[in-house]
Amino acid sequence: MVDRTAPITPGERLWLDRLMMPLPRGATILDLGCGGGEPIGRYLIDHGFQIVGIDHRAPLIDLACTRFPRQRWLLGDMHTIALDEQFAAVLAWQSLHLLSAADQATMAQRAAVWLKPGGRLLFSVLPVDQGDLDGFRPGSRFRDDLSAADYSSALTAQGLIEMAHVETDRACNSAGVWLVRKP
């Protein structure tokens, strides 16, 4: 079980603040790959937001439930879970790399469905040369990432508008970051 408990970096804080800025206090954010709710979930909760977190690892969902019992934590796979609701924002922070390239592309469609009109999507992808992931194996589906152009095309195909994109954000451990809005 891996649980990220290191503090949010200043670069991550800037992106999360941009995500939250236009949202009404108390709005619900869908966190895909939420882990144990630390540190990202805590940061959003501390800023007055409700969280619906999804993770495929039961021990981490149990940990999130223990840490933040007033939030909703769901055990499931982000690319197959059925949710019949919309959210003010969807967040996938360094979790898409756990999906195949085809599944990563369909996440743009799923996010568009889950977002309320005017809602925002924030996601990051690990740098290509970062191969020290728990469970990483050459030839596995891990790190079968889309290119930046492929991500942008998948978002545009769903009618989502790219507000900001940094292909290599050094303030976020050189991750690629996108902030997108649903019209």
pLDDT (tens digit per residue) in 63-93: 999 999 999 999 999 989 999 999 999 999 9
- Residues 91-101 have pLDDT tens digits of 999 888 777 77
Q: How far is the CA of 52 from the CAs of 55, 62, 76, 78, 100, in angstroms?
A: 10, 14, 12, 12, 23
Is-cis flag, bond preceding 39, omega within 30? yes
Question: Is 129's pLDDT higher than 90?
Answer: no
pTM exceeds cut of 0.85:
yes
Burial class (CB in 10 A: 0-12, 13-18, 19+), 60: buried
Provide the pLDDT for residue 1. Answer: 41
